[in-house]
Chains A and B, each alone.
Chain A
Amino acid sequence: MLSVEQVHFHYDSDTPQVVPHAVLQGVDLEVKKGSFVALLGHNGCGKSTLAKHFNALLLPSGGRVLVDGLDTAAAENTYPVRRMVGMVLQNPDNQLVSTIVEEDVAFGPENLGLPPETIRERVDEALRAVDMWEYRDHSPHKLSGGQKQRIAIAGVLAMHPDCIVLDEPTAMLDPRGRREVLDTVCRLNREQGMTVVLITHYMEEAAMADRVVVMDEGKVLTDGTPQVVFANGDLLRSVGLDVPQPTALCAALRARGVDLPSDILTPEECAAALLERMKK
């Protein structure tokens, strides 16, 4: 689906340095159709810069990015690529265009030049998929952050993308909003087979993915299932990240000689494992 090959990126010297350290130094990444990839890393590690390469917002200075075989660097591919790879940004307020929810969702399909009846169908379908159909004629500014972010997701879905990239979609939300957005994303991945790339710096969110890619200083640091990546707590802590608390608890207990599995991610798994151990 997404294929990143030896991508380097630096801002041109004549443009103001928007993100001074966010340069990519040879990133290789392959995202398979239907997978759910979490991209972790602290600010300035290049994860947002990388994300902008997925839909041709930025073009690599070296190497190439292929979306379903299309090279993003070719001018004629720009819009097909943007249709295929939808992007949801961090600030829910700054990505909604219209004063009415359903018209905002229609914005993308309208840009694609689809016939009105098709747009109508897609808007309804997308709003139902994010569970916001009842709010279709509301004004976005009166909705909560989580609801706005779901509208933004609907706006992307209505373009019938093959992949959704979410750039820290929960950073500005409260816990309830975060849960709403994550549930929506997980559902889309599980039920509709949507390819998801979730950029985040919350470990618990990354634990929901089926693959975690950790970036540091413009490079991929580790890449694997959450179980494998979070098993290496020291490496993560060395780049300013952490492991989910349940994983940390199990690791600490193991260090004290308690026999526990090393692939624990969620409180539920952890409690189940502990219970199992206590029964022995």
Chain B
Amino acid sequence: MLNDITLGQYFPGNSLLHRLDPRMKLTLTMLFIVLVFIPRNWISLCGAVVLLAVTVALSRLPIKLLWRSVKPILLIVAFTAVLQIFYVTGGTVLVQLGPVKITTQGLNNAAFIAVRIACLVMGSSLLTYTTTPTALTDAIEYMLAPLKVLRVNAHEIAMMMTIALRFIPTLVEETGKIMSAQKARGADMESGGLIQRVKALVPIIIPLFVSSFRRAYDLAMAMECRCYQGGEGRTRMKKLCSAPRDWIALAVYLLVLAVLIALNVRFGSVLN
């Protein structure tokens, strides 16, 4: 069901990864993104892959799940890889068709980048798979708090995210209902050219907008009834608290980062 896809990002569990402080997970994810872009040679990249493998193992999530996260972007991976094959010249020419050359260097680069993107996607999916949306929002709120000096209201951003997450399934359901209602009046959404199809969306989008505004009005009133006055003076039931395991995890990631840099220096670059 459509509902499940939108909220199905989080997979309940009690693994080490699930229990990490969401703020640390967010930090580690960003660190991992850096980690994936540092390697310049296969040995160094292997280091990143091993780190990912260990993290995945600690999450106790089925591998199939991670594969599912990569699947939708396979096309992009393939596309980037193919571009690399054709654009990178160097090394031995394996096949030549007119101006198009496929070289060893091209293949090397393509493979390298494909692995890199796959790691990137899997790594960041791990974050949403092991962290509840609320915990993630709290973490973002906390980490954006220093931006107050730039007049960024972290609380409001987090509140917006929470409300969006809360209402996505409701609106998805509502869209389904409105579509059925218009289809029952003979709305035709399956045929016609592009313009016709866009036009066919009007009877769905307008009621959806109207109802979203109505919901927003109701929700604002409900929040006022419950004494909401913005982030000022607000406390939280669930406090984020970091444990030693968080700092150990950070240390491991930093160590791997150092190792990868060292490997880069030691073995040089294989990329063109």
Contact = CB atoms under 8 A, between A and B. Distances in A.
Asked whether the complex places CB atoms of A and B closer than 8 A, the reply is yes
Interface of A: 55, 57, 79, 82-83, 86-87, 89, 91, 93-100, 102-103, 106-116, 119-120, 123, 139-141, 152, 155-156, 159
A116 B222 contact: no
Residue of B165, B170, B214, B225 contacting most chain A CB atoms (<10 Å): B225
B265 interface: no
A155 B218 contact: no
Contact of A119 (B165, B228, B235): B235
B215 A94 contact: yes
Contact of A87 (B214, B225, B229, B235): B225
B29 interface: no
A114 B235 contact: yes
Contacts of B133: 99
Q: Which of A112, A116, A120, A141 has the most CB of B within 10 A?
A: A141
Contact of B235 (A83, A103, A115): A115
Closest 9 CB pairs between A and B?
A94-B218, A95-B222, A106-B237, A119-B237, A108-B226, A87-B225, A111-B227, A141-B169, A113-B233
A159 to B, nearest CB: 7
B170 A141 contact: yes
Contacts of A115: 235
B163 interface: yes
Interface residues of B, number: 32
Contacts of A89: 218, 221-222, 225
B13 to A, nearest CB: 13
7 contacts: A86-B226, A97-B162, A106-B238, A108-B227, A116-B239, A119-B235, A120-B237
Contact of B162 (A99, A109, A119): A99
Nearest to A140: B166
B224 interface: yes
B231 to A, nearest CB: 10
Contacts of B233: 113
Dominant secondary structure of chain B at its interface with chain A: helix
A116 B238 CA distance: 7
A19 to B, nearest CB: 13
Contact of B219 (A95, A99, A111, A119): A95
A149 B61 CA distance: 35
Contact of B134 (A100, A116, A119, A159): A100
B164 to A, nearest CB: 10
B3 interface: yes
B227 A83 contact: yes
A220 to B, nearest CB: 24
Contacts of A100: 132, 134
Q: In terms of DSSP, what is the predominant structure of the interface of chain A? A: helix
A122 to B, nearest CB: 9
B225 A82 contact: yes
B225 A103 contact: no
A116 B234 CA distance: 11
B234 A113 contact: yes
Contacts of A55: 225
B177 to A, nearest CB: 12
Given A97-B219, A100-B134, A139-B7, A86 B229 contact: no
B237 A109 contact: yes
Nearest to A123: B237
Contacts of B239: 116
Contact of A57 (B132, B134, B219, B221): B221
Nearest to B230: A111
B223 interface: yes
A214 to B, nearest CB: 25
| Centre residue among B173, B215, B237 by max chain A CB count within 10 A | B237
A148 to B, nearest CB: 11
Contacts of B235: 110, 113-116, 119
Interface in B227-269: 227-229, 233-239
B116 to A, nearest CB: 33
A97 B165 contact: no
A98 B237 contact: no
A93 B3 CA distance: 15
Contacts of A140: 166
Contacts of B162: 97-99
Given A103-B237, A110-B235, A140-B166, 10 more contacts: A89-B218, A94-B215, A94-B219, A95-B222, A98-B166, A99-B133, A108-B227, A111-B228, A141-B170, A159-B226
Nearest to A117: B237
Nearest to B132: A100
A97 B234 contact: no
B213 to A, nearest CB: 11
Nearest to A55: B225
